[in-house]
Chain A
Amino acid sequence: MDVERYEKIFLSMGASLLVLFLACLAYASVGMGIHLPGDHGTHLDPATMRKTAPFDAPGVHQTAPGKYDVVLIGQAWTYDPKEVRIPAGSDVTFLATSADVIHGFMLDGTRLNAMLIPGQVTELHYRFDEPGEHLIICHEYCGLGHHLMSGKVIVE
């Protein structure tokens, strides 16, 4: 039995599969525009964060017709604001951070999933086509009341 040949075939097939998977991921990123949070290029001092734009005004801000910024602050153990209302069919940019420890931001029923880290700005983009309610769940341990921390995005 030519073991070395079998091993080469096995490893070549495995390596090809890995390359194929990576190509799919790259296509999803570049071709379909499914992005991860990136480097926002700023550093916030948690002590002055609430006096710094845009976090001096948490909430929903219309920036253009059909376009909204949602400014959101995670803090133990709630979100500010706790409830966000946006019209269906709008393009939303979330700008979020944390006021104290690291929190999570997972928007139920969407692919939005990110960390809120003190000092950093988490920027996410999403288009809400259908009306409905989405739970915001904090999915990073943030202390005793972690499991109590949630919010809501209502698409009207």
Chain B
Amino acid sequence: MSTPIVHDPRGFELPDAQRSLIAWTVYLGFAALSVGVINGLGQALNYAHIDILKYFPGMRTYYQGLTVHGVFNALVFTFAFSNGLMSLTTARGFGKPLNHPLLVASFASLVLGSVLAAFSMLTGRASVLFTFYPPLQAHWTYYLGLALVVISTWLTSANQLVLLRQWRKENPGKRVPLLSFLSIATYVMWDIASLGIAIEVVFLLLPWSLGLLPGADPLVSRTLFWFTGHPIVYFWLLPIYVSWYTMVPKLAGGKLFSDTYTRVVFLMFIVLSIPVGFHHQFTDPGISQHSKFAHAVLTFGVFFPSLATAFSVMYALEIGARKRGGKGLAAWFLKIPWSDPALAAQVLAMLAFLLGGITGLMNASFNMNQVVHNTAFIPGHFHLTVGSAVALSAMGISYWLFPYLAQRRLWSPTIARWQAWIYFVGALVFARGMISGGLAGMPRRTLIAAAPYYKPEWMLPGIITAIGGTLMFVGAMGCFLVLAMTVLFGERERIADIPITETIEPPASEGWIVSLDRLSYTVVTTLVLIAMAYGPFLVRHIPPQLTSTGYKFF
């Protein structure tokens, strides 16, 4: 039996009202990022003993700023960007408008949640960092705000699934279009992954902060947090992978190698992203070493689909570069169209991610993790992943996305090109500083300039960190300038479509791979693996011991 191949919905255009909602979602994300980045500059300079935080209006403590930095950058920005981009790609892939009420609800939930969380943080009621480990206790508006921000992602996912269902009815037996499939797979992974944090916040922390529960179980809460807290990394990353797989080849003049491989990579991410949370808890008491080792093995497993991604994406770039006269084993790399800021930013993000991936593997290395756990090595690592691979790619994506959403031409591609390079170099320098500081035993999440035990060997890494952080700040500000000017003053231009690649090996029309379009098989496999990875812990620690009273040490 042969399954018909999907139609290409060229000519489809999103209704204006929906485009505008998506635009405001993405604008909100970048506004949050700008607040987070400004706080980030203050933190980076602290490593070189330069205190600019005291000039920040309303910011009373370093840790308050660090909380804003984490929540706005890692939660509000990423969620808003993903909700916007993945709604757009799903609709474009199917050639169908989104469900309007769900789109509105998702946006409203995101706005309300962001406002509540911002209120609690800016008034100093929630300086608990973005990990909010109890028994540090934040104001209830913080927990409710974060819950609403997560609910906005679920509403986006619901929208995708409603669309998928309608599309299947209208196109019985056809393969799900690749772009929609990858976008939906990203959110299906996140739907399962976010259950941990949802249970923690809704059933434990929110009632506890309102005085309805006698206490908190710090270990169970931490575990629920990291149940979500690792796969959240892939929720940040997979929308970027959607771009790297399906849009970057188009920008580079290349093609995606294989439809099938791409789908399999995303399915592997659904299965393997979640049962790995203990690699953030290697040094925790109360969790057996066997469980920790099992999670270490699975973490190494989830490295595999990223290896496959590196191959596919590099191959697509190589095709484009060779068409433009690129030669040699590696010299072709110079021939990719670097003048396009949308592409340049994303390729630089990939280069940073090579180092981010390798340092991540070090963190996940079971007993070796003791050398780096909670040292500055860790933020050194993740400013190369979420701070570069994700943030810099998002900046690159925004150089076609903002013009498309605002129907205006990009303002100053020159500044856009420069900012990508400045940010990239800044991130590498910053990470070098943090990593060397961490290896010299400098703790993370610490007002290090004021620590009585400060060690002289942290000075040089601290200065490097501050220089790198300043460059990242300058680069990011360049991006915000370009985007703001594009939206406000860009020349009006009609932009009908988004960049989408062609594939060399089209979707299979028969065989086992066709059945994998039914995500239920993958979801069941995922749930079984989660039960195996977390079962022993749950048997031992459920029901939770609610014996810790709340502390507001801030």
Q: Which residues of A are at the interface with B, using a C-beta cutoff of 8 A?
A: 3, 6-7, 10-11, 14-15, 18, 21-22, 25-26, 28-29, 34-40, 43, 45-47, 76, 100-102, 104, 106, 108-109, 111-123, 135, 137-148, 150
Do B285 and A115 touch across chains, with their CB atoms under 8 A apart?
A: yes
Tell me whether B481 is interfacial, beta carbon within 8 Å: no
**Interface window among B36-44, B139-147, B441-449:** B441-449
Sample of 17 further A-B pairs with CB below 8 A, known A37-B284, A118-B218 = A11-B307, A21-B300, A21-B361, A22-B300, A36-B370, A39-B285, A45-B547, A47-B547, A101-B135, A119-B217, A119-B548, A122-B285, A143-B136, A144-B61, A146-B63, A146-B447, A147-B450
- Inter-chain CA distance A114–B312, complex, in Å, is 39
**Which of chain A's residues has its CB closest to B62's CB?**
A147
- Inter-chain CA distance A148–B451, complex, in Å, is 6
- Inter-chain CA distance A64–B368, complex, in Å, is 30
Tell me whether B110 is interfacial, beta carbon within 8 Å: no
A-B contact count (CB 8 A): 195
Q: How far is the CB of A49 from chain B (nearest CB, A)?
A: 10
Do B554 and A143 touch across chains, with their CB atoms under 8 A apart?
A: yes
Do B366 and A25 touch across chains, with their CB atoms under 8 A apart?
A: yes
**Which of chain A's residues has its CB closest to B549's CB?**
A46
- Inter-chain CA distance A118–B450, complex, in Å, is 26
| Residues of chain B with a CB closer than 8 A to A116's CB | 285
Interface size class of B (residues with CB under 8 A): 35 or more
Tell me whether B244 is interfacial, beta carbon within 8 Å: no
- Inter-chain CA distance A47–B301, complex, in Å, is 42
| Residues of chain A with a CB closer than 8 A to B217's CB | 119
The answer to whether A21 and B365 touch (CB under 8 A), given A139-B444, A148-B451, is: yes
Tell me whether B292 is interfacial, beta carbon within 8 Å: yes
**Which of chain B's residues has its CB closest to A97's CB?**
B285
Tell me whether B286 is interfacial, beta carbon within 8 Å: yes
Q: Which residues of B are at the interface with A, using a C-beta cutoff of 8 A?
A: 61, 63, 66, 127, 129, 133, 135-136, 217-219, 222, 257, 261, 281-289, 292-293, 296-297, 300-301, 303-304, 307-308, 311-312, 315, 361, 365-371, 373-375, 441, 443-448, 450-453, 540, 545, 547-549, 551, 553-554
Do A139 and B443 touch across chains, with their CB atoms under 8 A apart?
A: yes
- List 9 interface pairs A-B (beta carbons < 8 Å), by A numbering: A18-B300, A26-B293, A35-B367, A106-B374, A119-B218, A119-B286, A143-B551, A146-B446, A148-B450
The answer to whether A117 and B452 touch (CB under 8 A), given A29-B289, A141-B129, is: no
Do B311 and A120 touch across chains, with their CB atoms under 8 A apart?
A: no
Do B293 and A10 touch across chains, with their CB atoms under 8 A apart?
A: no
Do B453 and A137 touch across chains, with their CB atoms under 8 A apart?
A: yes
Do A14 and B307 touch across chains, with their CB atoms under 8 A apart?
A: yes
Q: How far is the CB of A1 from chain B (nearest CB, A)?
A: 10
Do A36 and B282 touch across chains, with their CB atoms under 8 A apart?
A: yes
Q: How far is the CB of A15 from chain B (nearest CB, A)?
A: 6
Q: How far is the CB of B140 from chain A (nearest CB, A)?
A: 18
| Residues of chain A with a CB closer than 8 A to B371's CB | 111, 113
Do B219 and A101 touch across chains, with their CB atoms under 8 A apart?
A: no
- Inter-chain CA distance A145–B133, complex, in Å, is 16
Q: How far is the CB of A108 from chain B (nearest CB, A)?
A: 5
- Inter-chain CA distance A150–B431, complex, in Å, is 26
Do B304 and A121 touch across chains, with their CB atoms under 8 A apart?
A: no
Do B368 and A25 touch across chains, with their CB atoms under 8 A apart?
A: yes
- Inter-chain CA distance A11–B447, complex, in Å, is 43
- Inter-chain CA distance A142–B553, complex, in Å, is 7
Do B553 and A143 touch across chains, with their CB atoms under 8 A apart?
A: yes
Do B453 and A36 touch across chains, with their CB atoms under 8 A apart?
A: no
- Inter-chain CA distance A11–B368, complex, in Å, is 25
- Inter-chain CA distance A112–B371, complex, in Å, is 8
